[in-house]
Amino acid sequence: MFDLDAVRSQFPLLADRTIDDSRVVYLDSGNTSQKPRRVIDAMTSFMETSYAPINRSSYRLAGEATEAYEAGRTAIARLINAPSADEVVFTKNASEAMNLVAMAWGRANLEAGDVVVLTEMEHHANIVPWQMLAQERGIEIRWVGLTADGQLDLSNLDELLSDAKVFAFTAMSNVLGTIPPTKKLCAAAHAAGALAVVDACQFVPHNVTDVQDWDADLVAFSSHKMCGPTGIGMLWGKMEILEAMPPFMGGGNMIDTVTFDGFTTAPVPAKFEPGTPAIVEAVGLAAAVEFLEDIGMANIRQHEMSLTRYALDTLNARFGDDITIYGPDNVEVRGGIFSFEFRDLHPHDVSQVLDEKNVCVRAGHHCAKPLMQTLGVNATTRASVYLYNDEADIDALADGLDGASDIFGF
Amino acid sequence: MPGLEDLYREIILDHYRTPRNRGELDPPAVKIDGHNPLCGDEITVYLAVDGTGDDAVVTDIKIGGQGCSISQSSASMMTKAVIGKQVGEINAVMRRFKSMMGIDNIELEEADSEVDLGELEALQGVVKFPVRIKCAVLSWNTLANAIAASAASAADDA
């Protein structure tokens, strides 16, 4: 295990920021994570000492900047056990990565009537790009349903996957915390002849990730949920798949040559990185990966599993039937995300009352409106933890909830 | 930080617990849905209007949908404020209300200063919680769309 105080002390906002003279209880890491000193310093130092364009100028400083940018790619490849750093494509965020998959791979490989299978617990980022493709060319979208405890209902998976070209699913639900059996789902996709696309946005920051063990084809995730900066996301893919894909967006950096008649593309990954990329952010991301590696992803997962157990037990013990926490109870198959209904109070009001106690949670549909429909609600309150949270944060959440119903008189 | 008592005034909670004019209206009343994409709140305004132009009278209004205490109470108070009123008067209340909410692209007219917001004044505290302003104005924006839809359908019938 790791020393929680030592971890928290590395996050300036968590260590030093106060509102109304008290510390911030940050329970919104499923939304975006806080940033450690190491990331902040790496970005500042890079801008102060090594900042220059990448890939296009031949002076030494530009070479240095290019190396620093590429170190971000290498760090990501190491974190997810990718066979080659060249298979890591930098995007603006995970949503762009999913759009890249749907628009580049999808447009090249899907036509009217082709089937894409999604699950009912997907984030809009893994829904809307496919729906755009459905509008554009009439592909069919099928949905894997959920069990009563918020896991995937795999009982008819073979039927849903029959003749499917793509199976795109989350490795960890951003609403339910559910961790589906990704390796098994990739195998099922391949058995049906479908491409296995994984939205690993919530998974990678909190778990040991091994894309080779999954045998996934394409995996999207983001930097800002794993202690890195905003503005940079990742698409990892098997090289032969990335090579066969047409480019997504055109411009500088992604070409081999351009003439009056046309263009040829640069090799992967530059083929998918038009324009000046998020250079400083890639440097910050490399620092974030090193920070996480020093603590150990397995340790982070262990810490969050025990915190998840504590949260489920504490909230259920204190509020009984007054609280409904969605998602599985077994912490082996869920991460530290708790979406809940509380005493018929609207999530916006719950979040407002919690904010008075400096407890930061998200209220709303969490960019998963179809899932809200499945759950039969408009919105939920969602608390989500990360490596810097502890039992005191969960207690603060519970204390804050305790005061909520007094105000509304329910 | 402003206290929760600034936000959750008793009259607001009363309208939240006991919303007025909930329900539906049959056509020819118009039915317009409004969404707050931020939080998923949904509201439906059913509006019955008699006449055309600024002199047209809102003869009935009903509210459907789900939302937080602020959006629900704002909708409930809105129904009381507009029922039996002329469209011209309602537009004036709407301008005053949005202006109170700190929405700065509202052009107040001279006579608007005499508009009495009545219990809607209780929502003034929302301004201190900027993320909640959208909740308070959702029903009003939906009403504006409903009034426009009524006018359009009246024009079609003419």
Mean pLDDT computed over A278-289: 98
Cα maximum dimension of chain B: 54
Query: Quick one: pLDDT at residue A13?
Result: 97
Can you point out the beta strands (E) in A21-122? 22-23, 25-26, 88-91, 115-119
- Establish if B14 touches chain A: CB-CB under 8 angstroms: no
Q: Which residue has the higher pLDDT, B125 or A147?
A: A147
User: In which band, very low, low, confident or very high, does the pLDDT at A410 lie, cut at 50, 70 and 90?
Assistant: low
- Establish if A409 touches chain B: CB-CB under 8 angstroms: yes
Query: Quick one: pLDDT at residue A135?
Result: 97
User: In which band, very low, low, confident or very high, does the pLDDT at A409 lie, cut at 50, 70 and 90?
Assistant: low
d(CA A169, CA A56) in angstroms, rounded, equals 37
Domains and CATH numbers, chain B: 4-151 (3.90.1010.10)
> What is the pTM for the complete model shown?
0.92
Mean pLDDT computed over B50-64: 92
User: In which band, very low, low, confident or very high, does the pLDDT at A148 lie, cut at 50, 70 and 90?
Assistant: very high
- Establish if B117 touches chain A: CB-CB under 8 angstroms: no
Asked whether the predicted pLDDT for residue A407 surpasses 80, the reply is no
Mean pLDDT computed over A5-19: 95
**Is A186 a catalytic site residue?**
no
**pLDDT tens, A254-281?**
999 999 999 999 999 999 999 999 999 9
Residue whose pair of structure tokens reads 């998963």 in the numeric block: A368
Mean pLDDT computed over A112-129: 98
Query: Quick one: pLDDT at residue B23?
Result: 93
User: Closest chain A residue to B12 measured between Cα atoms?
Assistant: A408
CB contact under 8 A, B39 and A409: no
| CB-based burial, A132-167: b 16+ in 10 Å, e otherwise | ebbeeeebeebebebeeebbbebeebeebbeebbbb
CB B36 within 8 A of CB A347: no
**pLDDT tens, A191-245?**
999 999 999 999 999 999 999 999 999 999 999 999 999 999 999 999 999 999 9
User: Closest chain A residue to B7 measured between Cα atoms?
Assistant: A352
**pLDDT tens, B27-37?**
989 999 998 87
- Establish if A356 touches chain B: CB-CB under 8 angstroms: yes
User: Closest chain A residue to B65 measured between Cα atoms?
Assistant: A378
Closest CA to A196 of A209, A184, A210, A208: A184
| CATH topology classification for A41-293 | Aspartate Aminotransferase; domain 2 (3.40.640)
**pLDDT tens, A325-338?**
999 999 999 999 99
Asked whether the predicted pLDDT for residue A72 surpasses 90, the reply is yes
Contacts with A409 from chain B: Cβ below 8 Å? 13, 17
Give the closest-approach CA distance of A123 to chain B in angstroms: 14
ipTM of the complex: 0.82
| CB-based burial, A7-28: b 16+ in 10 Å, e otherwise | bbebbeebeeeeeeeebbbbbb
Lowest mean pLDDT among A101-115, A122-136, A303-317, B45-59: B45-59
CB contact under 8 A, A379 and B39: yes
**pLDDT tens, B9-18?**
888 888 898 9
Supply angle C-alpha A54, A78, A183, rounded to 5: 125
Mean pLDDT computed over A124-151: 97
**pLDDT tens, B92-136?**
999 989 988 888 777 778 777 778 888 888 888 888 888 889 999
Asked whether the predicted pLDDT for residue A130 surpasses 90, the reply is yes
% of chain A at pLDDT higher than 70: 99
On the question of a cis peptide bond just before residue A53, with omega within 30 degrees of 0, the verdict is no
d(CA A282, CA A71) in angstroms, rounded, equals 8
CB A381 within 8 A of CB A340: yes
User: Closest chain B residue to A364 measured between Cα atoms?
Assistant: B39
CB A404 within 8 A of CB A353: yes
Which A residues 76-105 touch B at CB under 8 Å? none
Question: Which tokens go with B94?
Answer: 């709407």
Is A78 in a helix, a strand, or coil?
helix
DSSP labels, A168-221? EEESS-TTT-B---HHHHHHHHHHTT-EEEEE-TTTGGGS---HHHHT-SEEEE
Angle between helix axes A391-408 and A297-319 (nearest 10 degrees) is 30
CB contact under 8 A, A356 and B7: no
- Establish if B135 touches chain A: CB-CB under 8 angstroms: yes
How many CB atoms lie under 10 A from the CB of residue A101?
27
d(CA A9, CA A1) in angstroms, rounded, equals 16
Query: Quick one: pLDDT at residue B1?
Result: 58
Give the closest-approach CA distance of B65 to chain A in angstroms: 10
CB contact under 8 A, B39 and A353: no
CB contact under 8 A, A349 and B69: yes
Asked whether the predicted pLDDT for residue A408 surpasses 90, the reply is no
Chain B interface, best mutation among A31, A352, A356, A367, by max B CB count within 10 A: A352
Tell me the domain boundaries of chain A.
4-30+296-408, 41-293
CB contact under 8 A, A408 and B1: no
What CATH number should be reported for the domain whose range is A4-30+296-408? 3.90.1150.10
Asked whether the predicted pLDDT for residue B157 surpasses 80, the reply is no
Query: Quick one: pLDDT at residue A347?
Result: 93
Asked whether the predicted pLDDT for residue B158 surpasses 70, the reply is no
Burial class (CB in 10 A: 0-12, 13-18, 19+), A280: buried
Contacts with B39 from chain A: Cβ below 8 Å? 347-348, 363-365, 379
CB contact under 8 A, B70 and A348: yes
Mean pLDDT computed over B42-65: 93
* Distance, C-alpha A285 to centroid of its chain: 14
User: In which band, very low, low, confident or very high, does the pLDDT at B3 lie, cut at 50, 70 and 90?
Assistant: confident
CB B11 within 8 A of CB B119: yes
User: In which band, very low, low, confident or very high, does the pLDDT at A55 lie, cut at 50, 70 and 90?
Assistant: confident
Which residue from B38, B40, B129 is facing A372, i.e. has the nearest CB?
B40
Mean pLDDT computed over A58-77: 96
Asked whether the predicted pLDDT for residue A302 surpasses 90, the reply is yes
CB contact under 8 A, A348 and B1: no
